[in-house]
Structure 1
């Protein structure tokens, strides 16, 4: 099972994106756990995740999260702002899988 963590300012704005990503994963027959949290909970939840994707409005937090991500051994990146704005679950899921595969 792949575990994908999304972090945004409040943890709420990514909830629709999570749903779209779950729909796509189901279509592909992929077993995933995808969840979104607010920035203050992200570092704690990284221990359970295979990848962290950060909302584009929080790109300034990437360096801070990178320290914890390195400790727990997961890749992180900022969600593409166009994919985020379009709530493009396919593109964001593809990015998450790509990062997990790279390790």
Structure 2
């Protein structure tokens, strides 16, 4: 089971993206636990995750977030704006999986 954390500012649209990612994982028969959190809580959750994705609206925190993730050997990436805006669960799931393979 891959544990994916999406980190953003408030979590409203990210919550919808999480639901789309869960549907995509089910369709692909990928065992995944996917949750959304506020970016400010990254340090509280990173130890329990396999991969971290940042919403484009918090991309400016990438350097600081990379430092936190590096301590736990957790890969991190920023979700592309187009995929985030389209709530493309399939593409964002593929991004997450590509980071842990």
Query: What band does the TM-score fall into relative to the shorter chain?
Result: over 0.9
Q: CA deviation at 1:33?
A: 0.3
Superposition map of 1:44-83 within 5 A: 44-83=44-83
1:92 matched to 2:76:
no
User: Per the alignment, in what secondary structure is the counterpart of residue 10 of structure 1?
Assistant: coil
TM-score scaled by length of structure 2: 0.97
Structure 1 residues 11-49: Cα deviation after superposition (integer angstroms, max 9, x where no partner): 232000000000010011111100000111122111110
CA contact (8 A) 1:51 1:96 kept: yes
1: CA distance, partners of 2:26 / 2:61: 30
User: Per the alignment, in what secondary structure is the counterpart of residue 34 of structure 1?
Assistant: strand
Specify every segment of 5 or more residues in structure 2 that has no aligned partner in the other structure, as ranges.
none
Aligned residues: 101
CA contact (8 A) 1:5 1:52 kept: yes
TM-score scaled by length of structure 1: 0.95
2: CA distance, partners of 1:71 / 1:12: 28
Aligned to 2:39: 39
